[in-house]
Amino acid sequence: MTRIAIVVYPQFTALDFVGPYEVLRMLPDAEVRFVWHEPGPIVADSGVLLVGATHSLAETPNPDVVLVPGGPGCAKAARDERLLAWLADVSTTASWMTSVCTGSVVLAAAGLLEGRRATSHWSALAALSMFGATPVSDERVVRASAASGEGDGASAASGEGDGAKVVTAAGVSAGIDLALWLAGQIAGEERAKAIQLVIEYDPQPPFDSGHRSKASASTVARGAALLSRDALRPSPLTAATALSWDRSLRRFRRGDRRAGGHMLSRASSFAIDRFGAIWR
């Protein structure tokens, strides 16, 4: 069994979490948990999408793989002592500690990237330096290595001693690249290729501005404006919404946890059908 813990915290970015989840859940005998302080509904950065944390951090002491997504809430998550202590603790026994987008800032705050190469969303690369990491701006997936090490991202020598291997991905969509690479490491290249085909991941974007080095100055400015927290107006959960999610999650936790993907989808559908948008 491969035990996978995906951290979900308030104001995470949905694709950071969903893209890798769709890949990793197809690993052989995978058990996926969505973890936070306590089980319950977590609101993504849109203020509309809800994801249920299925297990608490305390209930998940020995994951094989940990994935931390990014999002506007990462700054608060990077100061969450309970989360940081859990990350540091499980990193001593996990096989892989991974992040997508600004989730690397959370790993860095937990002390897992000091003196190592790492990447993040282009808007947050400078923040990695504050925690002693060496930012890498030109690789989609970076396996943590000594800053002086040679290599090209995920293929670089790890330079690691005891504990988990640490891998970071660039912004948002790079999480799918990370998850496919990780699937190859865990289950072999042929399984990873099959998963890639199942999700039909064959990017052919209509524009070539997906990296800051390729984008015009005006596109960068517009992108920065879109990232502004002032553009996001999340609304709080109503009591009825929270109650319904708690009820759905209790049903999930009573079921077969290895069938979590199917059961969580049912819970999500219930909540989405029951409640509309929660914008102010």
* Residue at token pair 């005891």: 162
Say if residues 86 and 57 touch (Cβ distance below 8 Å): yes
Query: What is the b/e burial string over 215-241, where b = at least 16 CB atoms within 10 angstroms of the residue's CB?
Result: beeeeeeeeeeeeeeeeeebeebeeeb
CB contact at 8 A, 35 and 54:
yes
Query: Does residue 101 carry a catalytic annotation?
Result: yes
Write down the catalytic residue from 87, 101, 237, 271: 101
**Size of the chain in residues:** 280
DSSP string over 84-147 = HHHHHHHTTT-SEEEEETTHHHHHHHTTSSTTBEE---GGGHHHHHTTT-EE--S-SEEE--BT
C-alpha atoms less than 13 angstroms from C-alpha of 125 in its C-beta half-sphere: 18
Residue positions annotated with a catalytic role: 101
